[in-house]
Amino acid sequence: MKPKSDNLFHFTKSLEILKSILDNGIYPRFCLEDIEWLGLDDDKYLAFPITCFCDIPLSRISDHTDFYGNYGIGLSKNWGTKNKLNPVAYSPSDGNIQQLMKYLFHLYLPENRKKQQQDINSHAYRLLSLLKPTNGKMVISGGIIEKDFYQENEWRYVPAIDGVIQEKDFEDTKEDANKSIEKYKLEFSPSDVKYIFVKNDGDIPSLVDHINESLGMYPLNDLKILQSRIVSLDTLKQDL
């Protein structure tokens, strides 16, 4: 059994969103991340523009899909490398990575930062967007849950832009902010797709129809191969 998959998986909660991904690509979104470990006075969460993937082996995929959604796409790691996806760095509480990040972040807080240090601050935020505690908290539908992040084998796409959203401004600004970063979407071709996941067999005919109707710009053989990548998670779970 491989400890990690050769592919990168992105899951969502509905068939309609999956169809949109096949049509338009994958849009980054601002997401609140647990930064309580930084020890700031006010902010416990900070929103970064990210798209999340994982390379969990299929033998362990059930816990992940039960939480994040039963519809998704698996893309090759070669595609991920070309699009500058990066594995998340996990750090135990007050581990060496967290200590280094605390030093950098506090060094370049606005009250300590000179104007010419703006570029260093930008890089510090990008590094922070790829760092997670091994265990922490997630904001889901306005509620906070405890999560074992280390089990998620997460990879991330972080567009090369300056911009984060503080927790206090998140709800009021996230819609416009997400719209502003849609131009940084991840695109792929049928040859990049290794899996298309649906919840059950009943979702397959609708998805096949959608592929035939909406992706006609691709050669017919590409569409046939794409349809062959469709996997029902309910069926897959029976064999795991």
pLDDT digits (tens, 9 = 90+) for 99-156: 888 887 776 566 555 555 666 667 778 888 999 999 999 988 778 999 999 989 999 9
Are the beta carbons of 37 and 93 closer than 8 angstroms?
yes
Give percent above pLDDT 90 in the chain.
67
Integer Cα distance of 30 and 161 in angstroms = 12
Integer Cα distance of 32 and 48 in angstroms = 7
The whole-number pLDDT of residue 104 equals 77
Does residue 26 have a pLDDT over 90?
Answer: yes
Strands 193-198 and 230-232, by their bridges, are: parallel
Q: Which range has highest mean pLDDT (33-37, 71-75, 95-99)?
A: 71-75
Integer Cα distance of 136 and 37 in angstroms = 9
The whole-number pLDDT of residue 179 equals 96
The whole-number pLDDT of residue 217 equals 93
Which residue, among 230, 199, 186, 195, has the nearest Cα to 52 in the 3D structure? 186
In a domain, 13, yes or no: yes
Q: How far is CA 53 from CA 14, 138, 156, 158, in A?
A: 17, 16, 6, 11
What average pLDDT does the segment 28-53 reach? Answer: 90
Give me the DSSP letters along 210-224: HHHHH-TTS-HHHHH
State the first-to-last Cα distance of the chain, in angstroms, to the nearest integer.
Answer: 12
The whole-number pLDDT of residue 108 equals 58
In a domain, 108, yes or no: yes
In a domain, 99, yes or no: yes
Which residue, among 128, 131, 137, 136, has the nearest Cα to 154 in the 3D structure? 131
In a domain, 1, yes or no: no
Four-point Cα dihedral 240, 190, 192, 230, nearest 10:
0
Are the beta carbons of 78 and 199 closer than 8 angstroms?
no
The whole-number pLDDT of residue 2 equals 76
What average pLDDT does the segment 22-39 reach? Answer: 93
Tokens of 213: 């109707």
Does residue 19 have a pLDDT over 70?
Answer: yes
Integer Cα distance of 26 and 24 in angstroms = 7
In one letter, which amino acid is 59?
S
In a domain, 134, yes or no: yes
In a domain, 211, yes or no: yes
In a domain, 82, yes or no: yes
In a domain, 90, yes or no: yes
Where in the sequence is the domain holding 125, given as residue range(s)? Answer: 7-238
Cβ partners under 8 Å of residue 240, min gap 6: 58, 59, 61, 62
Q: How many domains does the chain divide into?
A: 1
